[in-house]
Structure 1
Amino acid sequence: MFERIAELAIRRSRLVLIVAVVAVALMGVLGAGAFGTLLGGGYDDPASGSSRAKEVLDKKFGGETNLVLLVRTPEGRVDAPAAEASGRALAADLKKERNLDNVISYWDTSSPDLLSEDGREAVVLAHVKGDGIERDENAKAVIDAYRGPYKDALTVRAGGAAAVTSEMGTQSAEDLLLAEAIAVPLTLVLLLLVFGSAVAALLPLAIGLIAIAGTFAELFVLGSVTDVSVFAVNLTTALGLGLGIDYALLMISRFREQLATGASVDDAVRRTVSTAGRTVAFSAATVAAALAALLVFPQYFLRSFGYAGIGVVVIAALSTLFVMPALFAVLGHRVNSGRMPWGNKPRPDGGRAPLWGRLAGTVMRRPALTALPVLAVLLLAASPLLGITFGTPDERVLPDSAESRQVSSVLREKFNGNDDAALRIVIDEPLGQAPLASYATELSSLQGVIRVETSGGAYTEGRSGTAGPAASHLGRPDAQQLSVVSSLAPKSAEAQSLVGTVRAVAPPAGTHPLVGGVDAELVDSKTSIGGQLPLAVALVAVTTFVLLFLFTGSVVQPLRALVLNMLSLGATLGVMTWIFQDGHLSSVLGFTAQPMEVSMTVLMFCIAFGLSMDYEVFVTSRIKELHDQGEDNRSAVTHGLGHTGRIVTAAACLLAVSFFAFGTAKLSFMQMFGLGSGLAILIDAVAVRGILVPAAMRLLGPAAWYAPPFLRRVHTRFGLSESAPAGTPERTTTDRELAKN
């Protein structure tokens, strides 16, 4: 297969490049529309009880409250004559908005729960109509129309889920622009330092841009037919730029190495595609397999990263395998043009890194002495995982200056219970007032519950109150809604425990209550992701094992890779827990400590695992190549790391830059994603590839290449293996080395 790709690039190089240019132009046109189809949110399981409760609320009650307008008077109280007149006018104007339902204000209800303790602030609750992009646009239009001074007597600020989602989308776009403004120039500088040649430095950027443009086009198509998260764009840019550079770096280094040996351009292309091209193909397959595990989760937030990640990997690999060889065939020795003052002439040994070779040699001589301290540090770094807790994104992921976050803080501090964070119980059957009252009475007696609001009145501490004007919207002939307002902090352990307690209360006979609200959504998200996580991990492990077996012909190498990758992943997640959950460095990075975002933690696991396998394939490919040519295990590892160490280091630094750039984000979970992914890459490239891999290979000895006879036959038939270089005889097989040892 790779020979045919090489011949196509050599004989039809200009045609390949013309087709690539046309394809990129078309992808660019399609990709430009991606942002108009992508959505916020997507953290909930559509089949969960909380999601089904939301559906009933939307269908029969005009939707749950997702917009909270906090109204404040500059002086005096909001129930003073002038402020009250303006407040009634505001409520009347909001009720005329065609994009809003269920507008409820303090001035309409006189409910003390919608009035702050000092009387200077009041609340207007509403539901923004629409789904996905339409809802986001409607929320933005309403917020922009009413935010700020109103009739010179009041000031209005927006909060609630709709406002939070709107601000997160805006902040995400700003974070993306800043990250790319940092990553692209810095990456170009690093490429110039690595290659010492302007032409060679620009080629990886071209592959990265193709990967990004192609994935944007894919997201546009998918976003037109299904729900896709806007945050997939962030992964597309970081991973597209990074992997495009990684793969191109490997190919360019091998091509220049072949030219330096005196090979013709055509032969250099053939050898590069058959060796580095094979490595890129297997590397892409392992990364895509890790990201494909995200597709098993029902939350479209996670599935979207799977769509984007697989698209980026496949497009980056295909453009590297087809476009890069065609560029080599056209450029030839001009790939070294534009040499920088510090640039050295490419050497036949590929720029073997003596430091990495010496390090590998030292580790191979004393594997336990060198590996044990590294293992101890990684396990120490992973120790915060023992206290990890999980949450879902809310206003706290925004910076302190975000208006929706400030509104949420005021609601918690100055109001008697947060109606916006109440549990919403819906009964999608006809229900009489007597059983409704009995059910509400029992709910109101639960610990932490301040009140239970129903169409028949409010209930507190097991006693009924009076039905207020605001209660009428909670009842329908064929359905009932109960609002359970508690004194518990939203998303706290106590609030999550209350969800289970409420669900355990015996419902009225013949009914099946559904419990919704932010705390119920968190409980359901954790349950949903936790239920699918074993399947996702199993898929990652099995597909990785199979691919690495096909790549190496050994059953030991995949197991060794899985164990070492889990060590580096544990260390990375432990450090992120120490920082973002425990709050260390919060003053430096400017975030609020909170439980680890469950979806982003799963995403970071899959991304980091896939990229770890990327470098696993880079290193193992050269070791196996030398081993197949007859070098013993120790020599193959030492020389293999000497050859690949510089490439892996450069690739890791370049890819880490793409992710670390998101450390400048204002959204805390994007900070965690960027810093965590970048850290995982560096830990893997330095600690794992530099020390733990040679130590493991030394301890395993010839058994590192073991496979049962029947699996060797499977590998012979189905595995991809590159032929020896021209003029190089096949020397010693694995079996001979095993027999010899």
Structure 2
Amino acid sequence: MFASWGTVAYRRRWIVIIAVLLLTVIGGAWGSGVSDRLTQGGYDDPGSQAAQVDKIIEDSIGKQGGDVVVLYTAPAGTTVDDPALAKKITDKLADLPKDDVSKVVSYWNTHLPALADASRTHGLATITLASTDQTKQSEQYAAIADKLAVDGVQTQIGGQAPLQKTITDKSMTDVEFAELVSLPLVLALLVVIFGSVVAALMPVLVGGLSILGALGVLRLISLGLDVNTFAVNVASLLGLGLAIDYGLFTVGRFREELAAGRDTAEAVRRTVATAGRTVAFSATLLVIALAGLMVFPLDFLKAVAYGGMSAVAIAAIVSLTLLPALLSVLGPRIDKLAVPWRRGKTANPEPRWLNRVAGTVMKRPALFVVPIVAVLLVLGAPFLNVKFGAADEKQLPPSDPGRQAIESITKAFPSTGNSVASIVVRGKTLSQADVGQFVSDAGKIAPDVHPVGAKGDVYVFNGNLPGDPLGDQAKDAVTALRALPHPAGTEVLVGGFTAKLADSTQSIFDRLPWMVAILVGATLLLMFLAFGSVLLPVKAVLMSALSLSATFGVLTFVFQEGHGAGWLDVTPQPMQVGVMVLIGALVFGLSTDYETFLLSRMVEARNKGLSTPEAVRTGLVRTGRMISAAALLLIVVTGAFGLSSIVIMRFIGVGMIVALVLDATVVRLMLVPAVLRLLGNAAWWAPGPLRRLQERVGIQESDELDEEPVREPELVH
């Protein structure tokens, strides 16, 4: 199939080029408007008890708290009770547009003692926006943001709506900056790798078009579903990084075919049948890995899955359509504009240093397997002590005014912070005595339990949880509150920040086995169909698991335990379980990606009659340089995204860099060849019935190519 498509791409090259360019450019132009439709929510399980509490409270007594919280600090020598100060603030708040604001509650229009601190120097105003839709709330907050400051009064603005808008705006700016930084660096590295400007431009062109196409798909998705801001970040990262990797492997294989003396038509056909098939197979595995995120109820993970799957699929489609067509037009001109030190020279597909590595690994495989596995396990050890938290203002750097505002508000008014539990007691048989007894019992667990409101058979209370809202003490208090005895026919529901975190974390753990089953099952099945071996897929899963555990351990060591956190300008804090799951899908998918490129050449050599050691050595020396180069390019791309001021993107960037460094060096270049050498001929084994099944429905393409012996690499001892 792939070889046939290579022939079609060659013969219809101009039609393919024009069609792909039009679709991606038009899609990208339309998709640029997706930034106006992005949301920042989706980190909580919408079906959880905590989410149910929010809905009950909103339906019964109205939404509590404000979408925007403003802290006004009285000038030196005055207090919040100063008449002139009170008039200026009340006039300012009264002038807010009614179309954007539904309610304003402040110390100055209610004189509630809870809205002024003990020193009377700080007063609070909470603003409820007119809409409950997060996208519209962002627009409404933008309309009032410049109308909140009062002359001569220090004004700090916090709350969920400002935090969401700040993170969204910074995320979009950071994406543009990352693309601006990474593309020139990637192009320069490709020129060095290929030794030709024309060859280097091909993967960059594919990467840019893949981003445009992914934006178009994301905007289409946003018409019916919520799309989180980070879906665009992940789509840009994967679209650019993987398209460049796919382009690198494809162009590299095409130049290799030309160097072997084949004409352009045959070189394109063989390139698509080999590298193109591997690209399609690799992209399919990565799309399935990202699809595993769809089993979780969190809209954040689903949105990121949409973005990632779109980017990977489009990167593969552009690599399998536009790139072969462009190579058909260029032919030998792919090496035009060669750098001075490469003019007149042909790239060596078998670097001497890789020959040395291959020879050493083949001689002493056990001496590589044991220490490498031990080091990876040691790197993964910190993950055994992982703690899970949630996205809050610490996603922003310590110097950010929005984060500082929220921290100032929480310090002056602890009751507005994340330590508050919302408690709903409802039931038609409730008496005042029952309610009083419940409040007394709850107060022993959460100090300062007090009524917020009641309507019909619903009673709402707030209580302050003990300890850190992300800590075990607060989580245990939520569990204890939910377990309190209550009269027959009634129920007690507990919500709030800590409860949402606990519920969302549990929902992820409950569904995690399904994601693991999807990842492992798809890898085992597809790799068996591709390579016809039982052990190769199992080995691939184990190698990916090792890389993943080491990556998780390093992330825990840095982002939770704080080692080196100062260099990254991040605040050590518990890990976000949703982001860890995302990293898991990405790292597992990318690990399998490089495994596929490596094994495809080994199996190709094995099918040509080489012995196991020679097939392993051939695959390593033919792909090792490209895998290292691909990892380096992806590190540059993810490194640029890691410069983001948003902790989640910095977390993803660092995680990807760690995974790529480990995977493309010690794992693929040393551990995998050493394990295969130890397995010997058993590496290619499959039971007879499975072998016959694979031959009938497998996805091999080697039989479409001319059979010719593969030249064994000359070992350098």
Matched, 1:306 2:285: no
The structure 2 residue matched to 1:385, chosen from 378, 383, 395, is 383
Residue 441 of structure 1: how far off its partner (Å): 2.6
Separation in 2, partners of 1:183, 1:117: 51
Q: Deviation digits for residues 1-25 of structure 1, max 9, x if unmatched? A: 1122112112111111111122123
> Please, what is the CA RMSD of the aligned residues?
2.1
Separation in 1, partners of 2:195, 2:708: 34
CA contact (8 A) 2:419 2:466 kept: no
Separation in 2, partners of 1:91, 1:475: 28
Q: Which position in structure 1 is the counterpart of 2:395? A: 397
Deviates more, 1:15-24 or 1:606-615: 15-24
Residue 586 of structure 1: how far off its partner (Å): 1.8
Q: Which position in structure 2 is the counterpart of 1:3? A: 3
Q: Which position in structure 1 is the counterpart of 2:673? A: 694
Q: Which position in structure 2 is the counterpart of 1:49? A: 49
Instruction: Letter of the 2:144 partner, please give it.
Output: V
Deviates more, 1:199-208 or 1:130-139: 130-139
CA contact (8 A) 1:419 1:485 kept: no
CA contact (8 A) 2:354 2:620 kept: yes
Separation in 2, partners of 1:514, 1:103: 28
The structure 2 residue matched to 1:361, chosen from 359, 362, 366, is 359
The structure 2 residue matched to 1:134, chosen from 133, 136, 140, is 136
Matched, 1:321 2:320: yes
Separation in 1, partners of 2:104, 2:256: 70
Could you say what secondary structure the match of 2:438 adopts? helix
Q: Which position in structure 2 is the counterpart of 1:38? A: 38
Instruction: Letter of the 2:3 partner, please give it.
Output: E
Matched, 1:618 2:597: yes
Separation in 2, partners of 1:558, 1:246: 22
Instruction: Letter of the 1:531 partner, please give it.
Output: D
CA contact (8 A) 2:24 2:213 kept: yes
Separation in 2, partners of 1:666, 1:82: 40
Q: 1:440 to 1:126 in 2, by over 3 A?
A: farther
Q: Which position in structure 1 is the counterpart of 2:124? A: 123
Matched, 1:602 2:581: yes
Residue 318 of structure 1: how far off its partner (Å): 1.4
Q: Which position in structure 2 is the counterpart of 1:550? A: 529
Deviates more, 1:99-108 or 1:673-682: 99-108
Q: 1:101 to 1:429 in 2, by over 3 A?
A: farther
Identity within the alignment, %: 38
Residue 537 of structure 1: how far off its partner (Å): 0.9
Q: TM-score, normalised by structure 1?
A: 0.91
Residue 405 of structure 1: how far off its partner (Å): 1.8
Q: TM-score, normalised by structure 2?
A: 0.94
Q: Which position in structure 1 is the counterpart of 2:632? A: 653
Residue 273 of structure 1: how far off its partner (Å): 1.1
Separation in 2, partners of 1:424, 1:665: 34
For structure 2, the 5+ residue unaligned runs are 711-717
Aligned pair count reads: 706
Q: Deviation digits for residues 37-93 of structure 1, max 9, x if unmatched? A: 221111011111111222223333332323321111112221233333444445545
Query: Which 4+ residue blocks in structure 1 deviate beyond 6 angstroms?
Result: none
Separation in 2, partners of 1:82, 1:399: 36
Q: 1:345 to 1:246 in 2, by over 3 A?
A: farther
Q: Please list, as runs of the form range in 1=range in 2, the aligned pairs for 1:484-499 lying within 5 A after superposition.
A: 484-486=463-465, 488-499=467-478
Separation in 2, partners of 1:484, 1:246: 53
Separation in 1, partners of 2:94, 2:467: 32
Could you say what secondary structure the match of 2:342 adopts? coil
Separation in 1, partners of 2:108, 2:439: 26
Deviates more, 1:164-173 or 1:237-246: 164-173
The structure 1 residue matched to 2:448, chosen from 431, 447, 451, is 451
Instruction: Letter of the 2:580 partner, please give it.
Output: T
Instruction: Letter of the 2:542 partner, please give it.
Output: V
Q: Deviation digits for residues 479-511 of structure 1, max 9, x if unmatched? A: 332122345333222222221121112345433
Could you say what secondary structure the match of 2:9 adopts? helix
Q: Please list, as runs of the form range in 1=range in 2, the aligned pairs for 1:718-729 lying within 5 A after superposition.
A: 718-723=697-702, 728=707
Could you say what secondary structure the match of 1:664 adopts? coil
Residue 538 of structure 1: how far off its partner (Å): 1.1
Q: 1:278 to 1:419 in 2, by over 3 A?
A: closer
Could you say what secondary structure the match of 1:321 adopts? helix
Could you say what secondary structure the match of 1:188 adopts? helix
Residue 245 of structure 1: how far off its partner (Å): 0.9
Separation in 2, partners of 1:581, 1:556: 36
Separation in 1, partners of 2:100, 2:241: 42
Deviates more, 1:556-565 or 1:6-15: 6-15
Separation in 2, partners of 1:345, 1:436: 89
Instruction: Letter of the 2:314 partner, please give it.
Output: I
Residue 442 of structure 1: how far off its partner (Å): 2.1
CA contact (8 A) 2:117 2:412 kept: yes
Q: Please list, as runs of the form range in 1=range in 2, the aligned pairs for 1:37-186 lying within 5 A after superposition.
A: 37-65=37-65, 66-75=67-76, 76-90=78-92, 92-93=94-95, 97-128=98-129, 129-146=131-148, 148=149, 150=150, 152=151, 154-186=153-185
Residue 407 of structure 1: how far off its partner (Å): 2.6
Could you say what secondary structure the match of 1:451 adopts? coil
Matched, 1:480 2:459: yes
Q: 1:35 to 1:428 in 2, by over 3 A?
A: farther
Q: Deviation digits for residues 419-460 of structure 1, max 9, x if unmatched? A: 5642122346566544333322322222xx3312315xxxxx
Separation in 1, partners of 2:572, 2:473: 18
Q: Which position in structure 1 is the counterpart of 2:713? A: none
Q: Which position in structure 2 is the counterpart of 1:468? A: none
Residue 249 of structure 1: how far off its partner (Å): 0.9
Residue 359 of structure 1: how far off its partner (Å): 0.7
Instruction: Letter of the 1:190 partner, please give it.
Output: L
Q: 1:395 to 1:39 in 2, by over 3 A?
A: same
Q: 1:354 to 1:439 in 2, by over 3 A?
A: same
Q: 1:346 to 1:573 in 2, by over 3 A?
A: farther
Q: Which position in structure 1 is the counterpart of 2:16? A: 16
CA contact (8 A) 1:160 1:420 kept: no
Q: 1:133 to 1:555 in 2, by over 3 A?
A: same
Separation in 2, partners of 1:198, 1:272: 20
Separation in 1, partners of 2:456, 2:417: 24
Q: 1:358 to 1:725 in 2, by over 3 A?
A: farther
Separation in 2, partners of 1:588, 1:557: 40
CA contact (8 A) 1:83 1:153 kept: no
CA contact (8 A) 2:354 2:624 kept: yes
Separation in 2, partners of 1:515, 1:93: 37
Separation in 2, partners of 1:126, 1:648: 54
Separation in 2, partners of 1:566, 1:578: 18
Q: Deviation digits for residues 294-353 of structure 1, max 9, x if unmatched? A: 1111111101111111111111111111211111111111111111113355648x6222
Residue 371 of structure 1: how far off its partner (Å): 2.5
CA contact (8 A) 2:157 2:406 kept: no
Instruction: Letter of the 1:57 partner, please give it.
Output: I
Matched, 1:295 2:294: yes
CA contact (8 A) 1:439 1:508 kept: no
Separation in 1, partners of 2:474, 2:307: 35
Deviates more, 1:163-172 or 1:200-209: 163-172
Q: 1:514 to 1:143 in 2, by over 3 A?
A: farther
Residue 139 of structure 1: how far off its partner (Å): 2.5
Q: Which position in structure 2 is the counterpart of 1:510? A: 489
CA contact (8 A) 2:390 2:501 kept: yes
Residue 100 of structure 1: how far off its partner (Å): 3.4
Q: 1:60 to 1:127 in 2, by over 3 A?
A: farther
Q: Deviation digits for residues 381-401 of structure 1, max 9, x if unmatched? A: 111111111111101111112
Could you say what secondary structure the match of 1:231 adopts? helix
Q: 1:168 to 1:565 in 2, by over 3 A?
A: same
CA contact (8 A) 1:63 1:101 kept: no
For structure 1, the 5+ residue unaligned runs are 456-473, 732-741
Q: 1:279 to 1:724 in 2, by over 3 A?
A: same
Separation in 2, partners of 1:494, 1:127: 31
The structure 1 residue matched to 2:350, chosen from 347, 352, 356, is 352
Deviates more, 1:190-199 or 1:408-417: 408-417
